[in-house]
Amino acid sequence: MIKFTNVSLIYPNSQQTVIEDLTFIVAEGELVLVMGSTGIGKSSLLRLINGLVPHHTGGILAGDISVNGISTQSVKPGGLAHLIGIVGQNPLNGFVTDTVEEELAFGMETLNLPPDVMRKRVEEILDLLSLAQLRNRSLATLSGGEQQRVAIGSALVMHPKVLVLDEPTSALDPVAAEEVLSILHRLVHDLGLTVIVSEHKLERVIQFADRIIHIQGGGQTQIGTPETIFASSALAPPIIHLARAMNVSEIPLSVRQMRRLTEPIRKHLSEITPDVVHTVDKAKIVVKVDRMSISYGAKEAIADTSLTICAGEIVAVMGRNGAGKSSLLRAIVGATSPSKGAVSIVGKDPFSLHGKERTELVGFIPQEPSDLLYGQSVREECSQADADNHVASGETFALIQTLVPGISQNTHPRDLSEGQRLSLALSVVLSAQPQLLVLDEPTRGLDYTAKVSLISILKEIAHAHDRAVIIATHDVELVAELASRVIFIAEGEIVADGTTMDVLLSSPAFAPQVAKVMSPSPWLTVKDVLTAMRNNP
Amino acid sequence: MNKSLHPLVWWIWAGSLATAVAMTSSIPLAFGVVGAAGFIVRRKAEKAPWAKSFAWSIKVGTWVIVIRVLTGVLIGVPIPGRTLFTLPIIPLPDWMAGIRIGGPVTFERLSSTAHDGILIAAIIGLLGAAASLSSPHRLLRSMPVMVYEFGVTIVIATSILPQFVTSVSRIKEAQRLRGHESRGLASWRRIALPLFEDSLSRSLDLAAAMDSRGYGYSRKRSKYRNDHWTTRDYALCAFALLVFLRPEYLLIIVALSPLVLAP
């Protein structure tokens, strides 16, 4: 179906080839996963398939790509619209119309299909993706999972042979992600659709993939079945790391398979209970939320919530898309003033803080870290932070070098990779040494390596410097590794608040992979299990 | 479900009201009509990004009045009448005879400039109301195909503009939380850079999405749902045009007519 012959790609003004001499064939009805670190060229590879690269972005392409026998060099992306459906990283950015139904029809209108065909197909897709109740809704009011489903639907409605998705679940909570992935699975099996998907959260997708294209950087690519790729790849989900550590005979791709393989080991470990790693001294209260409500118009985002967070705690705030996580965070950092009740950070009202007093009390990393940055280079950004926070010149840059070694002072912040940009924003905020650090979904688009360094930084801030950290995220694996306490929000109310272990294990959807494998024993991370195995041979 | 009005109807309604306001040139009526239009927007506008257009147009209108009055008072031909106060006259070169900056400000001059300003603001406000009440995308769709052909730019502009507004407040907030207060030129630079980057990448995303969905590839374009003119559409249009018969009596009634005629 898709044929790459000796494909190389280089962007203008760049010395490095993104892809070098790549040859592969994807057969009809295959689900292929594209994986690799951030900024390594996954999106480029996906966009090569329908010719958006290089037709839309520029760049030099060598070799040939053909889809269903049509070479992408001879036609523009529009000419492949009936053949390839493509769903971008952020579906909201790609919506052209206002309502669900119109969005579904848009592509067919451009292809000049007769109205009766369009009517029929729209109904089909509404049913297939269970969007029927949403048909007249405005696209801007949909939740993340619903938007993703509409984007998939508006691609499918053209009856394409190939569906290309760029990180379809990165912004979704585990439940919505599950929903989207099971739809993809069904499409491949029922309709024989060929699906190419890129994803960072490998634990969510590997069990569905027939083959994996692993882009390793520097033009290196590896293609094979999940079993062969994960026999050696350093980039792997927790379940693979666990299997390697346990010396399991096969490479497990699903929790079920792993459980079958590890029965004796699990039995051996079942008598041991993990010891609590870090205890928090409850004496120093950093955040105090007292019977707070936040409402936007008639809608109540947070209802009558009380909460205390102490120094040394790392608190993860979890919950569905739109449950009120961001509202809670914004009130805590003082971006909004609560409609009722009060928030205080070390006794002060965060809404009234200004300038230096603010940065020393609370640091905030928004969902788009680049909102904070405006310098023309890393150097300019760092010296601005030095000046703002009255610290010695060069201190911020020293900080960022510990986070991401080898970063160049002259790089423009926009040219940094996602992980590097987050680190830059983090160093700018941390140079003021705030008592409280708040992060709103920092792991969108971060790969495992970047996540590991983020985890170690945040742990050091909380434990060595005795600060409080609050992090809102959908990433259960990150929470399992990082947080000491989890707050679960639903419909603007705190429905669970307890240690990471208690909260994560009590909900099957939000349990990390290791916990699912080791259930009913209460283990969360690969490291914990390994330590236990080493201590109890 | 009730079918909403044809988007063009709202523009015809607002257009006739605006023309009628200009014809009557009466200040109380101008205020009355804008008030009535505001009431209709409150009642009828859907919850959508473009629904804020009315509020924005009122802000723009207020600025128009302020600027019009200021320039009218400072520059221009003196109108004789009751002097309110006198500004110092700034001497101008001889070749600019007839134009004067400063001088005595009469009540008549003040009121005539304010009068013009209010009329212009009312017209802007009415057009803003129409923009609030009909989706720009749907309006574009009911245009002939030839117009639609250069639609990419318009689609992007109409989708990005509301985003622009939310991006500004998001970035401003992030900057405030970094401890930078937003005042002066320097703060504008801090906001502008992330903002342009944000808008540019959004526009590129949208253009790529439209491109890969075949936009502009086929010369002809079918319509999923023809925006048929219903009786109600015709009725409201006819009623809106009726205003020209006796604008001074009918203005407010026509302005409020969507309450009865629109679903």
Q: What percent of chain A has pLDDT over 90?
A: 43
Pick among 3.30.930.10, 1.10.150.530, 1.10.3720.10, 3.40.50.300: CATH of A285-506: 3.40.50.300
Question: Residue A133 half-sphere exposure, CB side, CA atoms within 13 Å?
Answer: 3
Two tokens at B247? 């604008």
* Per-residue confidence band for B222, with pLDDT thresholds at 50, 70 and 90: confident
> Could you tell me if B81 and B113 are in contact, meaning their C-beta atoms sit under 8 angstroms apart?
no
For chain A positions 45-64, those within 8 Å of chain B (CB to CB) are 47, 50, 52, 55-56
- ipTM confidence: 0.84
- Average model confidence (pLDDT) across chain A: 88
Distance CA A505, CA A497 (A): 13
Chain B residue with the nearest C-alpha to that of A366: B174
Question: Residue A329 half-sphere exposure, CB side, CA atoms within 13 Å?
Answer: 29
Residues of B in contact with A335 (CB under 8 A): 173, 176-177
* Per-residue confidence band for A415, with pLDDT thresholds at 50, 70 and 90: confident
- Residue B119 pLDDT greater than 90, yes or no: yes
**Tokens 């909570």 belong to which residue?**
A173
Nearest in space to A370 (alpha carbons), one of A415, A339, A403 = A415
Helix (H/G/I), strand (E/B), else coil: B172? helix
What is the pairing mode between strands A485-490 and A493-499?
Answer: antiparallel
The answer to whether the CB atoms of B193 and A374 lie below 8 A apart is yes
Of A10-24, B2-16, B178-192, the range with the lowest mean pLDDT is B178-192
- Which of A80, A90, A98 is most worth mutating to test chain B (most B CB atoms within 10 A of its CB)? A98
Residue A19's H or E segment, with its range, is: strand A17-26
Residues of A in contact with B205 (CB under 8 A): 88, 90, 93-94
Given this model, what pLDDT does residue B251 score?
Answer: 86
- Residue B148 pLDDT greater than 80, yes or no: no
Of A67-71, A328-332, B168-172, the range with the lowest mean pLDDT is B168-172
Q: Does A378 touch chain B (CB under 8 A)?
A: no
- Residue A487 pLDDT greater than 90, yes or no: yes
Q: Does A450 touch chain B (CB under 8 A)?
A: no
Residues of B in contact with A434 (CB under 8 A): none
Q: Which of B178, B204, B214 sits opposite A372 (nearest CB)?
A: B178
**Sign of the C-alpha dihedral, residues A525, A530, A535, A536?**
positive
- Residue B103 pLDDT greater than 60, yes or no: yes
CB burial string B75-112: b at 16+ within 10 A, e below = eeeebeeeeeeeeeeeeeeeeeeeebeebebbeebbee
- Residue A3 pLDDT greater than 80, yes or no: yes
> Could you tell me if A62 and A48 are in contact, meaning their C-beta atoms sit under 8 angstroms apart?
no
Q: Between residues B145 and A102, which one has the greater pLDDT? A: A102
What is the pairing mode between strands A340-345 and A285-296?
Answer: antiparallel
Query: Domain residues of chain A, as ranges?
Result: 2-236, 285-506
Q: Between residues B58 and A15, which one has the greater pLDDT? A: B58
A197-225 pLDDT tens trace: 999 889 999 999 999 999 988 788 999 99
> Could you tell me if B54 and B44 are in contact, meaning their C-beta atoms sit under 8 angstroms apart?
no
Evaluate whether A2-236 and A285-506 have a shared fold: yes
Q: How far is B206 from chain A (nearest CA, A)?
A: 5
Distance CA B211, CA A110 (A): 10
Q: How far is B207 from chain A (nearest CA, A)?
A: 8
- Residue B1 pLDDT greater than 50, yes or no: no
**Tokens 């666990």 belong to which residue?**
A242
Residue A157 CB neighbour total at 10 angstroms: 25
Helix (H/G/I), strand (E/B), else coil: A251? coil
Chain A residue with the nearest C-alpha to that of B201: A93
Helix (H/G/I), strand (E/B), else coil: A188? helix
Distance CA A413, CA A428 (A): 12
Q: Where are the alpha helices (DSSP H) in chain B?
A: 7-24, 27-44, 53-74, 107-133, 136-141, 145-149, 151-177, 184-212, 231-242, 247-256, 258-261
- Which of B47, B164, B212, B220 is most worth mutating to test chain A (most A CB atoms within 10 A of its CB)? B212
Q: Does A78 touch chain B (CB under 8 A)?
A: yes
Nearest in space to A174 (alpha carbons), one of A292, A373, A318 = A318
Q: Which of A81, A84, A105 sits opposite B224 (nearest CB)?
A: A105
Distance from CA of residue A261 to its chain's centroid?
A: 29
> Could you tell me if B162 and B50 are in contact, meaning their C-beta atoms sit under 8 angstroms apart?
yes
The answer to whether the CB atoms of B211 and A77 lie below 8 A apart is yes
Given this model, what pLDDT does residue A519 score?
Answer: 85
Distance from CA of residue B118 to its chain's centroid?
A: 14
The answer to whether the CB atoms of B222 and A113 lie below 8 A apart is yes
Given this model, what pLDDT does residue B117 score?
Answer: 92
For chain A, give the number of residues. 537
* Per-residue confidence band for B3, with pLDDT thresholds at 50, 70 and 90: low
The answer to whether the CB atoms of B197 and A414 lie below 8 A apart is yes
Given this model, what pLDDT does residue B152 score?
Answer: 67
- Which of B173, B178, B181 is most worth mutating to test chain A (most A CB atoms within 10 A of its CB)? B178
Two tokens at B253? 């009634």
Given this model, what pLDDT does residue A496 score?
Answer: 93
Two tokens at B179? 């401890």
Span A501-529, mean pLDDT? 88
- Residue A272 pLDDT greater than 90, yes or no: no
Of B38-52, B125-139, B148-162, B194-208, the range with the lowest mean pLDDT is B148-162
B47-98 pLDDT tens trace: 776 788 888 889 989 999 999 988 888 876 667 778 888 888 877 777 777 6
Of A307-311, A452-456, A476-480, A531-535, the range with the lowest mean pLDDT is A531-535
Query: What value, to the nearest 5°, has the Cα angle with vertex A344 and ends A342 and A349?
Result: 85
A50-60 pLDDT tens trace: 999 888 888 89
The answer to whether the CB atoms of A93 and B202 lie below 8 A apart is yes
The answer to whether the CB atoms of A96 and B174 lie below 8 A apart is no
Distance CA A100, CA A103 (A): 5
- Residue A235 pLDDT greater than 70, yes or no: yes
Residues of B in contact with A354 (CB under 8 A): 179, 181
| DSSP 8-state assignment for residue A409 | T
Given this model, what pLDDT does residue A143 score?
Answer: 81
Q: Which of A78, A98, A333 sits opposite B135 (nearest CB)?
A: A98
Q: Considering only CA atoms, give the Rg of chain A.
A: 24
Of A275-279, A286-290, B180-184, the range with the lowest mean pLDDT is A275-279
Measured between alpha carbons, how far apart are the two ends of chain B, in Å? 10
Residues of A in contact with B49 (CB under 8 A): 140
**Sign of the C-alpha dihedral, residues A236, A239, A240, A245?**
positive
Chain B residue with the nearest C-alpha to that of A358: B179
A346-399 pLDDT tens trace: 989 999 888 888 889 999 998 888 888 888 888 988 998 888 888 888 888 888
Q: How far is B72 from chain A (nearest CA, A)?
A: 40
**Tokens 């240690």 belong to which residue?**
A499
Span A70-89, mean pLDDT? 90
DSSP labels for B236-262?
HHHHHHHTTTSHHHHHHHHHHTHHHH-
The answer to whether the CB atoms of A79 and B215 lie below 8 A apart is no
The answer to whether the CB atoms of B210 and A373 lie below 8 A apart is no
CATH class of the A2-236 domain in this structure? alpha beta
The answer to whether the CB atoms of A354 and B175 lie below 8 A apart is no
For chain B, give the number of residues. 263
Q: Where are the alpha helices (DSSP H) in A233-350?
A: 238-245, 255-261, 263-269, 325-333
A91-107 pLDDT tens trace: 888 888 888 998 999 99
Size of the A and B interface in Cβ pairs below 8 Å = 160
What is the pairing mode between strands A285-296 and A436-440?
Answer: unpaired
Distance CA B209, CA A93 (A): 8
- Residue B229 pLDDT greater than 90, yes or no: no
Nearest in space to A302 (alpha carbons), one of A349, A249, A340, A259 = A340
- Which of A49, A86, A100, A110 is most worth mutating to test chain B (most B CB atoms within 10 A of its CB)? A110
Distance CA A35, CA A337 (A): 42
| Strands laid side by side in the A340-345 sheet | A299-310, A285-296, A340-345
Q: How far is B171 from chain A (nearest CA, A)?
A: 5
Two tokens at A197? 């998907």
A274-284 pLDDT tens trace: 766 556 667 78
Two tokens at A419? 């992980």
A146-168 pLDDT tens trace: 898 999 999 999 999 999 999 99
Identify residue B233 by its one-letter amino acid code.
D
What is the pairing mode between strands A493-499 and A84-87?
Answer: unpaired
The answer to whether the CB atoms of A373 and B222 lie below 8 A apart is no
- Residue A343 pLDDT greater than 60, yes or no: yes
Given this model, what pLDDT does residue A267 score?
Answer: 86
Of A21-30, A335-344, A446-455, B22-31, the range with the lowest mean pLDDT is A446-455
